[in-house]
Amino acid sequence: DAKTTQPPSMDCAEGRAANLPCNHSTISGNEYVYWYRQIHSQGPQYIIHGLKNNETNEMASLIITEDRKSSTLILPHATLRDTAVYYCIVRLGGYSTLTFGKGTMLLVSP
Amino acid sequence: DTEVTQTPKHLVMGMTNKKSLKCEQHMGHRAMYWYKQKAKKPPELMFVYSYEKLSINESVPSRFSPECPNSSLLNLHLHALQPEDSALYLCASSQDMGQGVGYTFGSGTRLTVV
């Protein structure tokens, strides 16, 4: 699986958009980009995933660059409850497992 | 039911004890996973069951023994653990091991070995 690089921490004001970057320059054509988050003392929570196209769901938007070497997770209106560690994971297509990196600690402040 | 339920939530055990962690899901998922998470570290995969058969063992010491009695249940039997095994143990499930909407995780069992 391709390796990912994320900033260790980010801050965001409540109500503003949180843009979390992820670099995955060695990604292969059949590898998907997944985002999970883990709120303190809870299990990880699936957010979104994509292959080539941008994706949006009720939680977030995922923007993948055309060369697929990086992506951005966007939380459009961050709330205090979005404070968590966000993991960007590149996962091989077909049968593979989820391997977590260090993630980004997002702190949303009032 | 869209949850993965783990019991107990907290467990303290001595190094000579035998205990078991339990994980249950009723989403019809056929792949189930055990992860271990040390403080301030990301989760690390331990075992994968696919269609009730052990598919992956990430070189986990034999003092951890997984069991999948049926498609809804996953157990982790613990014996002769060491204090360094203290961690949050997470269970997850997915439709199968292929690409999909991802894994559903439980809230974990926080294990302390004394």
Residues of B in contact with A97 (CB under 8 A): 33, 45, 48, 56, 97
Q: What is the mean pLDDT of residues A69-85?
A: 97
Cβ contacts (< 8 Å) between B45 and chain A: which residues?
A: 97-99
Please tell me the predicted confidence (pLDDT) of residue A83.
98
**Sign of the torsion formed by the C-alpha atoms of B84, B89, B95 and B101:** negative
pLDDT beneath 70: ranges in chain B? 99-101
The whole-number average pLDDT for the span A21-35 is 92
- State mean pLDDT over A21-47: 93
Residues B67/B77, Cβ–Cβ less than 8 Å: yes
Residue A75 · residue A60 · CB < 8 Å: yes
The residue type at A107 = L
CB–CB contact A98 B102 (8 Å): yes
Chain A residue closest in CA terms to B102? A46
Position A30 scores a pLDDT of 84
Residue A2 has pLDDT above 70, yes or no: no
Q: What is the pLDDT of residue B102?
A: 82
CB contact under 8 A, A97 and B102: no
Q: Cβ separation of B103 and A44 shorter than 8 Å?
A: yes
Return the pLDDT at A92: 78
Q: In what order do the strands lie in the sheet with A9-13?
A: A9-13, A104-109, A84-92, A31-38, A45-50
- Number of C-beta neighbours around residue B68 at 10 A: 18
Q: Which one of B33, B99, B105 has the shortest CB-CB distance to A32?
A: B99
Residues of B in contact with A41 (CB under 8 A): 88, 107-108, 110
Q: Which of B43, B97, B104 sits opposite A100 (nearest CB)?
A: B43
A98 touches chain B (CB under 8 A): yes
Chain A residues in contact with B90 (beta carbon < 8 A): 43-44
Nearest CB to A46 within list B43, B103, B110: B103
Structure-model confidence comparison of residues A107 and A41, the more confident one: A107
Classify each residue of A53-82 as buried b or exposed e, where b means 16 or more C-beta atoms within 10 Å of its C-beta: eebeeeebbbbbeeebebbbbbbeebeeeb
- Residue whose C-alpha is closest to residue B76's, from B27, B21, B34: B21
CB atoms within 10 A of CB B75: 17
Subunit contact A87:B99, Cβ cutoff 8 A:
no
